[in-house]
């Protein structure tokens, strides 16, 4: 059987690669990264030996590309709209290319590489098609990486979920800004939160989040379209998450306090280590104090409260 797939390839300057990967990982678990900036060093180190392709040697080393693959029946234009919105907000110069390909049973063959993954102490993200015998006290979140904006495998989501575990209880009203797949709101609900609200600027992300909420059999999550806080339900929240990127977090911080109690933990993630100082500065300027932060593989998540 042959399956039709669409490759969505985004190219930008090498220095934008980390933020490009962060945005693209919200569309798919599987990223194909082309970065030849260190090719000469790797040749000198003997990494490639004589096996390197001539086209790689001739590639532009100032440009990196990230590709994802989507079933041909998915609405490609919505994915490109999402990328234009997110990357445009970051002020990154980029190009987007789409192309069709056909590969036998590609839709199923990659599934062998996507297995249950534990995030935090209790949360386990399990693919929809996997049977998983949960241990005592584990909390299971079901996700389909073929359709999800964020699946739990990226460091930014894992860091955010790890912090979320520490603050959610059965009295919590939780808000997730820039929800993507809805994974963090689903995690909060399954950890016992009383109510959860998940918002995203992209209608496709909100549609996917609603489908994931339904698939996880949770009924206390409301999903809606919102440009950051513009369409968020007014009121005070007990826990807030924002797993986005540094520049958008900096845009968010001046307005978020109106949605917080004095002791509300605001969990910020999607921050590359190189941008931490910029985020620290904005945190202080907007009247917050850092409670804790955790790092993994060049990414940072920070919990702050009103000072």
Q: What is the pLDDT along the chain (307 residues), one digit of tens a residue?
A: 456 788 899 999 999 998 998 898 888 767 888 877 654 444 333 333 333 344 545 567 789 999 888 888 878 888 899 899 999 989 989 999 998 876 555 545 556 556 788 888 899 988 888 888 888 889 999 886 554 445 566 788 889 999 999 999 999 999 999 998 899 999 999 999 999 999 998 888 888 889 899 999 999 999 999 989 999 989 999 999 999 889 999 999 999 999 999 999 999 999 999 999 999 999 999 999 999 999 988 899 999 999 9
pLDDT value at residue 241: 97
Give the global pTM.
0.67
pLDDT value at residue 48: 35
* CB-based contact 166:155 (threshold 8 Å): no
CA dist 41 and 44 (Å) reads: 5
pLDDT value at residue 69: 84
- Determine the angle formed by the axes of helices 17-24 and 76-90, rounding to 10 degrees: 140
pLDDT value at residue 46: 36
Alpha helices by DSSP H, listed for 137-245, are 155-167, 183-190, 203-215
| Domains of the chain by residue range | 2-105, 149-306
pLDDT value at residue 102: 66
pLDDT value at residue 50: 36
Q: Among residues 184, 178, 224, 198, which one has the least CA distance to residue 86?
A: 178
Same fold, 2-105 and 149-306: no
- The class level of CATH for 149-306 reads alpha beta
The DSSP bridge partners found for residue 243 are 269
* CB-based contact 190:141 (threshold 8 Å): yes
**2-105 CATH, one of 3.20.20.70, 3.30.930.10, 3.30.70.120, 3.60.15.10:** 3.30.70.120
Classified as helix, coil or strand, 36 is coil
């Amino acid at each position: 059987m042959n399956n039709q797939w669409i490759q969505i390839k985004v190219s930008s300057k090498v220095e934008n690669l980390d933020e490009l990967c962060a945005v693209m990982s919200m569309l798919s678990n599987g990223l194909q990264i082309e970065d030849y900036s260190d090719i000469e060093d790797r040749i000198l180190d003997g990494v490639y030996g004589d096996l390197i392709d001539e086209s790689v040697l001739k590639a532009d080393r100032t440009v990196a590309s990230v590709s994802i693959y989507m079933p041909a029946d998915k609405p490609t234009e919505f994915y490109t709209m999402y990328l234009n919105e997110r990357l445009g907000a970051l002020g990154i110069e980029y190009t987007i290319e789409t192309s069709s390909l056909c590969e036998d049973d590609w839709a199923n063959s990659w599934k062998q590489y996507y297995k249950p993954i534990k995030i935090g102490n209790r949360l386990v993200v399990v693919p929809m098609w996997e049977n998983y015998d949960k241990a005592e006290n584990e909390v299971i979140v079901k996700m389909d990486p073929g359709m999800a904006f964020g699946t739990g495998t990226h460091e930014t989501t894992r860091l955010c979920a790890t912090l979320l575990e520490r603050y959610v209880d059965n009295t919590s009203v939780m808000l997730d800004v820039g929800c993507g797949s809805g994974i963090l709101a689903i995690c909060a609900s399954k950890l016992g939160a009383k109510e959860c609200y998940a918002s995203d600027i992209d209608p496709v992300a909100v549609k996917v989040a609603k489908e994931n909420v339904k698939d996880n059999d949770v009924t206390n999550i409301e999903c809606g379209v919102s440009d950051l806080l513009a369409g968020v339900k007014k009121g005070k929240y007990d826990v807030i998450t924002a797993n986005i990127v540094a520049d958008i977090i900096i845009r968010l911080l001046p307005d978020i306090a109106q949605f917080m109690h004095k002791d509300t933990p605001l969990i910020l993630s999607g921050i590359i280590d190189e941008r931490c100082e910029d985020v620290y500065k904005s945190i202080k300027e907007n009247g917050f104090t850092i409670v804790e932060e955790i790092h993994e593989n060049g990414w940072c998540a920070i919990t702050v409260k009103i000072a």
